[in-house]
Amino acid sequence: MKYMLMIYNRPGFVESLTDEERKYVFGEVDSIMAKLTESGELVGGQALADPSNGRTVRLSGGQVAVTDGPYLEGKEQFVGYLAVDCESLERAVEIAKSWPDIRLGGGLEVRAIMDEAGAEM
């Protein structure tokens, strides 16, 4: 099963970290990525730049409107993702639980990725 682990945290989170916290975060991220590569579970993953570098596109008054910033305003933003191919939802949650953002004000949402395969019923 493939899952996407969506990482949420406050914008500017990385800049606000102390050197020690930063070392912890990047050390943990490197170690988790290395473990997932080694186990053959890693499908992909990216960190996203600050929402100020992005645009939101949606329909507004019948017109396609482009605005600065994130799709959803909020204290926490979507800051990156990890895609894994693993045994079960429990395993995906276990991976999510080890992610360092959780200990520094962020959180993760684990979502199953839709499969193009299916059985007739």
Q: How far is the CB of 42 from other proteins (least distance, A)?
A: 6
Indicate the DSSP class of residue 74. S
Q: How far is the CB of 61 from other proteins (least distance, A)?
A: 30
Q: Which of 15, 40, 46, 62 binds other proteins (CB under 8 A)?
A: 40
Name the token pair of 111.
Answer: 């979502």
**Sequence-separated (6 or more) residues with CB below 8 Å from residue 117:** none
Q: Which of the residues 56 through 95 are near other proteins (CB under 8 A)? A: 85, 87
Q: How far is the CB of 80 from other proteins (least distance, A)?
A: 18
- Nearer to other proteins by Cβ, of 19 and 116: the residue is 116
Determine the Cα–Cα distance for residues 73 and 76; give it in Å rounded to an integer: 8
Name the token pair of 60.
Answer: 């507004």
- Nearer to other proteins by Cβ, of 59 and 121: the residue is 121
Coil, helix or strand for 19? helix
